[in-house]
Amino acid sequence: MAKNIVERKDCTEGAISCILEIEEESLQLLDIVKKTEDDLSAYYPKMLNNETSDAETLGKVDSLKRAANNIFKAWRQIYSAGDELNARRNDIKHQKKNRVLPIAPPSNAEIDLDESRAKHFFAKGLNIYKLLLICYMGSFAGVAVEILWCLITNGYIESRSGLVYGPFNLLYGVGAVLLTVCLYKFRNRGSWLSFLGGILVGSILEYVCSWGQEFVFGSRSWDYSDMPFNINGRICMLYSVFWGLLSVFWIKNLYPRIAKWILRIPNRIGKIITWLLTVFFIFNILMSGTAMFRWSQRIDGIAPSNAFWEFVDECFPNERMEKVYANMEFVEQQK
């Protein structure tokens, strides 16, 4: 039987090729597979001549299935290792190439190394402090991008906020957290994984938020019914692809920038800032939900039942709510 023979070369700079031990073992495995096929070819006539038992044949079948399962597991691990090695190489090369530019993002590999070396760092890895800060920054950044997009495409500035106080939209904040959590293990992998993962995560998030808003408040902030390949007007193919592209940009560009910025915050100050922002956002969410609930009641012609709801009507009249939620439409009005 002919052997798969390759010339071994050291993995040094300038080498034409590089043969790792695992590749040499894989070539031996191919030889073993060829030998197994030859053995089975000799086994088949014995089966026809009743020279084998059914238990023996089933034993071979089960062994081949277990071998195939083990090889498939090994293939997945080897492919992942190769994809990660190539992605880290590309990220590091891109970082070195653009190091002279202050706007160039660090690589995720650099962030991982810096976090492993940091002592008493309040937001290492994916702990609660980092995720909360990502949520708050994402809530602001998403609104800023939408306002800018509205200005470019429509020629005017219009509110894209989701909360009554400040330019914040938790859809983007929660989206940033979900993308970070779901794509974190792929941060040093090829961009295609982040793209596919982003399509899935973003579409699910958008659908759930749209359904939840309609179920609780009887309103919608977006409707893709006129877009091709939409599902109940809540999500569509075009914006799902946008979520995929945004995910690649997020995990490869924005996340390492934010993580590096967070690294510079002292532990004590970082924790204090995070909890103060958390208290503010909890208050903002409660007030926004209360104001929106009362707004939907006013749309239905329901008068305030006590002094508290009268106070809400004074603080958040229809005019103010229409400015904050410029694109909101109540489902009842469409019927």
In a domain, 99, yes or no: yes
> How many other CB atoms are found less than 10 A from the CB of residue 304?
15
Question: What percent of the chain stands above pLDDT 70?
Answer: 91
Which pLDDT score, from 0 to 100, does residue 142 have? 85
Amino acid at site 180:
T
Check whether residue 198 and residue 328 sit in a common domain.
yes
| Whether residues 278 and 172 fall in one domain | yes
Q: Give the domain extent around 190.
A: 126-334
Per the domain annotation, does 8 fall within a domain?
A: no
Residues 134 and 183 both lie in one domain: yes
- Rounded Cα distance between 310 and 313, Å, is 5
pLDDT tens digits, one per residue of 5-60: 444 455 555 545 677 889 999 999 999 999 999 999 999 999 999 999 999 999 99
- Residue 72 included in any domain: yes
The C-alpha atoms of residue 210 and residue 213 are separated, in whole angstroms, by 5
**Half-sphere CA count of 250, side-chain side, radius 13 A:** 32
Number of domains within the chain: 2
The answer as to whether 117 is a domain residue is no
* pTM passes above 0.85: no
Q: Does residue 245 belong to any structural domain of this protein?
A: yes
- Is 314 a residue whose pLDDT tops 70? yes
- Residue type (1 letter), 40: L
Q: Is the confidence at residue 197, as pLDDT, over 50?
A: yes
Contacts of 301 (CB under 8 A, 6+ apart): none
At 227-255, the pLDDT tens digits run 999 999 999 999 899 889 989 989 998 89
Q: When comparing pLDDT for 324 and 328, which is higher?
A: 324
Q: Is residue 275 part of a domain?
A: yes
pLDDT at 13: 52
Is the pLDDT confidence value at 2 over 60? no
pLDDT at 10: 54
Whether residue 143 sits in one domain with residue 91: no
Q: Do 39 and 97 have their domain in common?
A: yes
Single out the residue in 57, 73, 108 at which a domain terminates: 108
Residues 63 and 158 in one domain: no
Pair 132, 190 in one domain? yes
Quickly list H helices, the chain. 21-48, 54-97, 108-117, 128-154, 170-183, 191-217, 237-249, 255-263, 267-299, 307-315, 318-324, 331-334
The answer on 135 and 88 residing in a single domain is no
199 lies in the same domain as 327: yes
